[in-house]
Structures are given as C-alpha cells and as structure tokens.
Amino acid sequence: MADIVSSTDRIAASITQAIVERRLMPGTRLAEQQLADIYGVSRTLVRQALNQLSRHRLVTLTPARGACVAEPSVEEARQVFELRKMLESSLLAQLCSTITPAQIRQLREHLKLEREALKRTDVPGRTRLLADFHVLLARLHGNEVLAETLADLLSRCSLIALMYQSSHSAAESQAEHEAIVNALQARDKRALMKLLDNHLGNVEANLKLEPRAPDLAAALKAA
Ligand SMILES: [Zn+2]
C-alpha cells in the first residue's frame, strides 16, 4: 500500500513540477497509457495521480476528452490572486515580527539561487525558484499547511500565467523578492505590505485577462 501511495504521489509531483516550470501548456491532453509508459507504472496508478491533480485544479477530467492540463478561467485567476494576497499579507505581517537572522540568511541563499538561474537563463529553474520563494516564507513561519496551500496556489498561478500571457518579467519578480527580504530584515511592516501588494498586483496586472481565443477571421483571411 505504501508503494502505491508513493508512486501516485511521485507521478502527481512530477506533473505538478512540469506545470510549475511551465513545460506543460494549459489544455495539453494527458493520455493515461502514454503516462503509464513514461513512468513505467500501471494505468490505475496514473488514474489515481490524475484524480489527485484534478482535486488540486491542475487537471480537468472530462468523459469526452479524458484528462487535460487545466485552463483556469478569468474569474478563477482573479480569485487565486485574491486569496494569495489575503494569505501572504498576513503571513508577511507575522513573519515581520518573528524573523530571525538565520532565517534571513536562508532567504538570502534562496535569492542567490534565483539570481544564478536568471543569469544562466535557466527558464524552468528560475520559474520554479521564483514560486518556491513564497512557499519558503510559509515554511519559515512554521506553518506547513499554509506552505502546502501556497504551493498549490503557485502551481495554479503558473497555469494562469501561461493562459493569460503574463508579461511580468522574471527579472522584475526577482528584484521584488530582494526588496521584500530587505524589508523583512529591517522589520519594516509598512514597506513590506506595500511591496507585497505591488509584487502580486504587478503579476496580476500584467496578465492579459481575456481568454486567448484564436482569431478565426484573421486566420482564414491569410489562407
Ligand atoms: Zn514572487
């Protein structure tokens, strides 16, 4: 039983990572047999993993098409960002009074990894690290449930960024993370709240929150 659970988790984690690193596009078909071959497991395990991912809203299951990478709606995108703002502003407000020098060093280590990934133009790596920054803040606060919830929301944000073509650059996000850590170190709560608002607001504002509909007329005119 433990093996079954760990295989299901392993497949779900691998697909989630591909989504976080933006290697899997929204709407991509996830064929059970193909996944079973890739992971060298039974279709039953694959189906369990896909069920798990659909509960986290990363995969959509429909009788007609089977499993596909989810395509979050505009409304869902807005709600995900709204929830992130609620959770992360209260997280940062609390961290601001409890943060220790050792934790600041841990955050600085993480920022260094982000900068290095940016310099290498390692796109999957930097995308994952930029998301992990937010999860790390929750871990430092010592709330594992919050860390898991944020990790789920961050995965959904990756899909949202792909769906709505976020133009907020990785370099801008990275610079904003540096400023957040500086404000934490200075225990400047007011600056911190402004920075977070700006950071999440920038990402959201740079999404083109209109579904990407193919322009049929333009496509046919060209032909
Ligand atoms: Zn960020």
Spacing, Cα 146 to ligand 1 middle (Å):
16
* 132 and 191 in a common domain: yes
Report pLDDT for 4. 59
Cα 101 to ligand 1 centre (Å): 21
Query: What's the CATH number where 154 sits?
Result: 1.20.120.530
The mean pLDDT value for 74-98 works out to 93
Q: Domain check: are 61 and 85 in the same one?
A: no
- 181 C-alpha to center of ligand 1: Å? 11
Q: Output the CA 135–ligand 1 centroid distance in Å.
A: 10
The pLDDT score that the predictor gives to residue 3 is: 58
- 119 and 183, same domain (yes or no): yes
180 CB-near residues (< 8 Å, 6+ apart): 92, 192, 195, 196, 199
The span from the CA of 176 to the CA of 197, in Å, is: 11
Residues 53 and 89 in one domain: no
CA-closest candidate to residue 30, choices 72, 58, 71, 67: 67
**pLDDT tens digit sequence for 118-143:** 999 888 888 899 999 999 999 999 99
Residues 191 and 83 placed together within one structural domain of the fold: yes
SS3 131: helix
Same domain, 40 and 141: no
Residue 15, pLDDT > 90, answer: yes
Tell me what pLDDT residue 35 has: 94
Total structural domains in the chain? 2
Write down the mean pLDDT value for the chain.
89
pLDDT category of residue 206 using cuts at 50, 70 and 90: confident
pLDDT band at 218 (very low <50, low <70, confident <90, very high): low
| Span from the CA of 196 to the centroid of ligand 1 (angstroms) | 9
Q: What percent of the chain has pLDDT over 70?
A: 91
pLDDT for the residue 124: 85
Residue 219 lies in a domain: no
Expressed as residue numbers, the domain containing 99 is 74-205
Q: Domain ends where: 69, 85, 111?
A: 69
Residue range 177-206: average pLDDT?
A: 93
* Shared domain check, 109 and 125: yes
Residues 142 and 181 in one domain: yes
Between CA 80 and CA 150 the distance in angstroms is 10
Check residue 146 and give its pLDDT. 95
